[in-house]
Chain A
């Protein structure tokens, strides 16, 4: 094995161990309230990773990804508020609903290209946003509070921040493993070929539209799972989760972390949320300074933080 391979393997192992030990460590440091922040980062990391799948690997600049996250949150939230607590049922319903909606949105949107695709996905997300605003039976524009959480068995309670953290970590881990396996697979290579040159890929016999749709739907479903987790963590879902600025935030995370990189979504989510948290502790005007940092990233780190790290790494060698 090459040194780089060995290095990245040991880095991965180290990362995994510290992720597993984090709640215990925070507990020992006397800062258990940061466990819920870590959980929030994991949820955003899952959502951003799902967006990176469609945006980075699929080359489809979807500006409405928050709609799927919000949809998943609403499906789970509504089921809980109706007294249906089975976690497996929540997962199944979330996957089914977000999958079907993504299929419908994708089938229409993928007929368009470039900026028109950006705008039409945005338009569909806005439709769902206003729909969520208008369902008075489930909170309307005020949002929906849930008193209980998804029951996941084994005597575990998701209201406990540590339990939630491990569940989200497991989901994120599974998503990353799936993504890492998808990229070098036959399907993954076909999707990337279509991203880079769809006419050539089509001439080679790949059904471009259908494969794009598969990726779009898969990303939507994973986004929905992130939403189902989010409502369990917050105990609350509101239309704001579907607002276009949320889609923008997810996009910012992906670009910040690194488009079409395995860890891009995770790094972007962690960097942005930690930055916000750090700035919010120091100043009331954290948004202002977040904006400047993001601007600096666009101007000086063209391939996001991952690109910056790789650059530094190659310079060191």
Chain B
């Protein structure tokens, strides 16, 4: 019984971790290459989710809606980069915090003006039911889809950064931007493309998590902080670090929520266990980050040399 629960929770943790990776991938590159704190990254996740909900209702097709949302969010992200964020790269962190905080306010209220405070988005009918993975363990088909998409995109992103010319240039930019520019690489233009890809990945996460969580204004704010935790644990600027950090954070958060309660029941009175379990689970991720930083102040896989 417990092992079934464990497998189920590990799958949930992986699934959440992979979605976190989609958010963290763009964030870590912006942070690593441009030394830019972008608090509005979570807003792209929200914009992607709203666009997906709107397009799915409009076209009547989940796939078309999500693909459309990805394209539009990527375009929107690139537009944002060219018009505003680009001017902030050279500014100090405080100015970046103020500007992107302002952007959160604008986008939150802007989305509210266009779409309202929330939109309905449900999983496609064909994937509504559970799938039996093994005797005694059935798992929602839609969550399996998220896992699959997450794995494929993570692998693609990894290959893109590790194996392609574009990836090599991005990595060069992350380890030393000035030197890369001096070698004749148009890091800025390159970066607009990278930012677009990052925004598109945010939309994937927003659209896929939409049916499980809720598509509402402000949805990006809590997940943004988790994405920051992921990239700090993984090492700012490192895609590999972001992937491993995301899976660690996803598993710690998800497993903590269910298993700690079980664990505490073994040696604590039940009312204590049910109070302490969730409390410690939600803190666990941040404690993990503090420990990682205490041991490795640059994160697990530092990108800068």
The chain A residues found within 8 Å of chain B, CB to CB, are: 55, 61, 63, 108, 111-116, 118-120, 122-124, 126-127, 130-131, 133-136, 244-245, 248, 251-252, 255-256, 259, 285-288, 290-295, 297-299, 302
Contact = CB atoms under 8 A, between A and B. Distances in A.
A63 B286 CA distance: 14
A295 B103 contact: yes
Given A124-B290, A288-B109, A136 B99 contact: no
Nearest to B217: A287
Interface of B: 31, 35, 37, 39, 84, 87-88, 91, 93-95, 97-99, 101-106, 108-110, 112-113, 221, 225, 228-229, 232, 236, 275, 278-279, 282-283, 286-287, 289-290, 293-294, 297-298
Contacts of A118: 37, 93
Contacts of B278: 134
A297 B98 contact: yes
Contacts of A293: 102
Nearest to A297: B98
A292 B287 CA distance: 36
Contacts of A298: 88, 91, 95, 98-99, 102
B105 A288 contact: yes
A288 B94 CA distance: 21
14 contacts: A61-B94, A111-B294, A115-B35, A115-B236, A119-B289, A122-B228, A123-B290, A124-B286, A126-B225, A252-B102, A298-B95, A298-B98, A298-B99, A302-B95
Contact of A111 (B88, B229, B232, B297): B297
Q: Is the interface of B mostly helix, strand, loop or mixed?
A: helix
Given A124-B290, A244-B225, 8 more contacts: A119-B232, A130-B279, A251-B101, A286-B109, A288-B105, A291-B109, A295-B106, A297-B98
Contacts of A63: 97
A119 B233 CA distance: 10
Nearest to A283: B109
B297 A122 contact: no
Contacts of B221: 244-245
